Chain A
Amino acid sequence: MDSARTVLDDADISRAIRRIVHEIVETAKGTESLVLLGIPTRGAYLARRIADAITGIDGVEVPCGTLDITLYRDDLRLRAVRPLEPTSIPPDGIDGRIVVLVDDVLYSGRTVRAALDALNDIGRPAAVRLAVLVDRGHRELPIRPDYVGKNLPTAVKENVAVKLREVDDLDAVELSEVGA
């Protein structure tokens, strides 16, 4: 933990979120059909921040919820059983909407695969987009993000930790060597 290096500080993170917000609104040609779904825990806070920022810019309240993907993971049997995180789908659902999935770090792509499976059981969106704060590479599935806060080239043995005020004591993205 001592060797952790801060790659994004709080100012970088707010800038990155602001840019993602503008890109989302631009590609969706407005905010009408948008639904934001954050993947717990930190993706859920990022989705909330994005929703609030859209309200700040356009004055519109975009439906924002959370999507826990634990029950759809492909590695459940490889680890001890995990507690479930809350899933809350906005009351109007996702049918025909543009769903933006929000997560903190994109790595293997398996979480996003699980999220796509989960969405499939909940409804039929018009489109699904992916927003991540950090893309650290090393994909194991053919999945790519639509909105990226920061492309961060990493080695597999490195660890990327996103810290957010809502759960941690500060906003930061830190890179550290595993086992260092």
Chain B
Amino acid sequence: MRHLLSAGEIDRDQAVLILDTAAELGAVTDRSIKKLPTLRGRTVVNLFYEDSTRTRISFEAAAKRLSADVLNFSAKGSSVSKGESLKDTALTLQAMGADAVVLRHGSSGAAHRLAHAGWIDASVINAGDGTHEHPTQALLDAFTIRRHLAPEGGDLAGLSVAIVGDILHSRVARSNVHLLTTLGARVTLVAPPTLIPVGVESWPCAVSYELDPVLDSVDAIMMLRVQSERMQAAYFPSALEYSRLYGLDAARLSRLPEHAIVLHPGPMNRGMEISADVADSSRAVMVEQVANGVNVRMAVLYLLLAGDGKDAG
């Protein structure tokens, strides 16, 4: 692998390798010295055109734990706000000797463009492009699910995962559908028809417009935030109605199988897609997801940057 642009292009063995590598690297997090010399002298640039705290900090922590130098470049307060194009920014980063660029961008396909336009030699890691993909989020979700429900390792064969909420605007949902299916899980998307993207029939997953019928058969349930900032129209009558039909509250939590876990990529809107008592329950693994995010991103940086750069598969 030279770039990580989408979860759809990762095959099963690559996915398992990333998860296994993350598991080994996770042990470093438990040590008193949380630092490895592996990427000493390499430069990782966080290039963020959209607001993000947890993803940027997670990548920064991951790169620093591997001893890489980290440059943070956010569009606000940079020459981007003066009208600089992605290309010119890329050429600047190339001149600064970036070995990897972690890109978050509002336009779908931005990471692919940066990786393949010939502007830079660096590895490109997609940290979210528009409503397209967010592969490291899917990897950390898969890692968290595996740790709880398939602790012996390998893939997620036979597990059933529901992804509930604003599928239409969610790059997390799209990446998870691809990755979890590649790993052998069955994915069901749950949302009102207005929040299901056109063309979902071609995705390798089932779709349900109702939450209640899927509850008793899932091993993991992932709640998504309603992304009002990406909505230019009304997709449902009222927040209260959405919450009643698609929100996870204590009553619905009690109908999940006993071993089932609740995931949320954050940021959460308590009282909307998830009630406060569910968010704070022992079944909710959000805090773990954050910790696992650092391990997974360390694994991706290691696998992309540590070798000689010649493709080994």
Taking a contact as CB atoms closer than 8 A, the residue among B25, B35, B37, B303 that contacts A81 in the complex is B303
Q: Among residues 23 to 43 in chain B, which have CB atoms less than 8 Å away from a CB atom of chain A? A: 24-25, 27, 31, 33, 35-38
Asked if B280 is an interface residue, CB under 8 A from chain A, the answer is no
Given A77-B306, A84-B25: A122 in contact with B37 (beta carbons within 8 A): no
Are A72 and B310 closer than 8 Å at their CB atoms?
no
The residues of A that contact B303 with a CB separation of less than 8 Å are 81
Chain B contacts to A: CB under 8 angstroms? 17, 20-21, 24-25, 27, 31, 33, 35-38, 302-303, 306-312
Given A71-B36, A122-B31: A80 in contact with B20 (beta carbons within 8 A): no
Nearest CB on B from A79, distance (A): 6
Are A83 and B307 closer than 8 Å at their CB atoms?
no
Are A77 and B37 closer than 8 Å at their CB atoms?
no
A38, B312: Cα distance in complex, Å: 27
Give the size range of A's interface with the partner.
10 to 19
The residues of B that contact A80 with a CB separation of less than 8 Å are 307-308, 310-312
Q: Closest 7 CB pairs between A and B?
A: A81-B307, A80-B312, A84-B24, A71-B38, A121-B33, A71-B36, A80-B307
Closest to A74 in B: B37
The residues of A that contact B35 with a CB separation of less than 8 Å are 121
Given A86-B24, A121-B31: A76 in contact with B38 (beta carbons within 8 A): yes
The residues of A that contact B308 with a CB separation of less than 8 Å are 77-80
Nearest CB on A from B153, distance (A): 11
Chain A contacts to B: CB under 8 angstroms? 68, 71-72, 76-87, 117, 121-122
Closest to B33 in A: A121
Nearest CB on B from A39, distance (A): 15
Chain A binding surface, main DSSP class: loop
The residues of A that contact B25 with a CB separation of less than 8 Å are 84
Are B20 and A76 closer than 8 Å at their CB atoms?
no
A113, B263: Cα distance in complex, Å: 42
Nearest CB on B from A85, distance (A): 8
A117, B40: Cα distance in complex, Å: 14
Known contacts A76-B38, A121-B36; 5 additional CB pairs below 8 A are A80-B312, A83-B21, A84-B25, A84-B302, A86-B24
Closest to B24 in A: A84
Are B27 and A77 closer than 8 Å at their CB atoms?
no
Nearest CB on A from B29, distance (A): 13
Nearest CB on A from B268, distance (A): 33
Are A77 and B33 closer than 8 Å at their CB atoms?
no
The residues of B that contact A117 with a CB separation of less than 8 Å are 37
Taking a contact as CB atoms closer than 8 A, the residue among B27, B306, B310 that contacts A76 in the complex is B306
A90, B307: Cα distance in complex, Å: 30
Are B306 and A81 closer than 8 Å at their CB atoms?
yes
Are A84 and B36 closer than 8 Å at their CB atoms?
no
Q: List 7 A-B contacts (CB under 8 A).
A: A71-B36, A72-B38, A77-B306, A80-B308, A82-B307, A86-B24, A121-B35
